[in-house]
Amino acid sequence: MFSTPVLQQSTFWSTVKSKMGDATLAVDFTVSQSDLSSDGQALQHVESDILVVLQYVDNKHCIAYVPYGPEIEPEEDLQALFLEELSENLCSVLPDTCFAIRFDLNWESHWAKDDNWYDNDGFWKGTPEIASQEMRFNFNTNNWNLKKSLHNILPSNTIYVDLKPELPSILQHMKPKTRYNIRVSQRKGVYVSVAGIEQLDVWYDLYKETCVRNGIFLHDIAYFRTLFTAQFKKNTAETQLFLLIAEYEQTPLAAMFLVVSSHRASYLYGASSSRSRHLMATYALQWKAIEIAKNKNCTEYDMFGVSPNPNPDHPMYGLYKFKSGFGGEMFHTMGCWDYPLNDSMYTCFKAVEMQSQGYHVS
């Protein structure tokens, strides 16, 4: 696979998913420049690839899930036509029992580029109803077959922190309260270390406490052990994973997984104790993550998942308050779009999906 800053399209992620028992495909493709840009040359081509994860819904039928892919991004008016052609060509390498392709698009939302979708305070209002999204997206396609998924799987709203400036400048661009809390953690003596797999139990205890406190999905510890071991595969060397643990007087207070892939660092998982929150251990963790990312020559830090705006009723509002303090830029993606290959199976699947909500890292 090609080198990529998109963790979920990396060889590392393919290894993780394979170790967890999922079937994965790395599919190379070539596309004409004219299919990507209105001023592109038909005789010039771009080579790329996508990681496809086959997610089985029973013993026979599956969905071809493309997490945060394809990475290559055409001009807005050409995006749906590109996905349509890519989907039709993917059929030749997918199982006959695959009834849909799901693209978890990391492309910027069309409605995030439209000033009419922001309120008077400059906050994004979100996307219109699904029917309107499908009408706009499918406008110049041949089959009008792209369907907006009921739910997104990976986060569709994130914050990117620019890591190109020097550390003092990055700190200065943070909100005053965030800078203050980082300094509190330093003054109080919170110490952040890079841990090895032998300290995975420390992470997992904090992680379990966090999941119970917030009512979120709990991965088995084997999943995190897989993350650790996947990075030692020869073909995943371009991706590095770090477990950071923040302690006070040898008592673990918070921990997180940081992943570096190409020029991007990503905050993948975080956990914290309910004890000693006045020590601001979570702020110490993020500052350490930024320092590590800078040392690894990363140019951006993906905070990975927030609410689309400061709406206190949104379940991810707390993450928005915390992460937005680090001075990054909001980014809203297109989220999940489906290309059904078997209409009857897809209709049944959507009916089942209506019973579930939320997102998970997949």
Residue 201: per-residue pLDDT: 97
Residue 5: per-residue pLDDT: 93
Residue 1: per-residue pLDDT: 62
Residue 361: per-residue pLDDT: 47
State mean pLDDT over 7-32: 94
Task: Give the residue, 217 or 201, on which the prediction is more confident.
Answer: 201
Of the pLDDT bands very low, low, confident and very high (cuts 50, 70, 90), residue 234 is: low
SS3 letters across the chain: CCCCCCHHHCHHHHHHHHHCCCEEEEEEEEEEHHHCCCCCCCCCEEEEEEEEEEEECCCCCEEEEEECCCCCCCCHHHHHHHHHHHHHHHHHHCCCCEEEEEEEEEEECHHHHCHHHECCCCCECCCCCHHHHHHHHCCCCCCCCCEECCCCCCCCEEEEEECCCCHHHHHHCCCHHHHHHHHHHHHHCCEEEEECHHHHHHHHHHHHHHHHHHCCCCCCHHHHHHHHHHCCCHHHCCEEEEEEEEEECCEEEEEEEEEEECCEEEEEEEEECCCCHHHCHHHHHHHHHHHHHHHCCCCEEECCCCCCCCCCCCCCHHHHHHHHCCCCEEEEEEEEEEEECCHHHHHHHHHHHCCCCCCCCC
State mean pLDDT over 250-254: 97
Q: What's the pLDDT tens digit per position in 143-186?
A: 999 999 998 999 999 999 999 999 999 999 999 999 999 999 99
Residue 216: per-residue pLDDT: 87
Q: What's the pLDDT tens digit per position in 113-154?
A: 999 999 999 999 999 999 999 999 999 999 999 999 998 999
State mean pLDDT over 40-69: 93
In this predicted structure, the answer to whether residue 86 has a pLDDT above a threshold of 70 is yes
- All domains of the chain in start order, with CATH: 7-156+333-353 (3.40.630.30), 164-298 (3.40.630.30)
Average pLDDT in the chain: 94
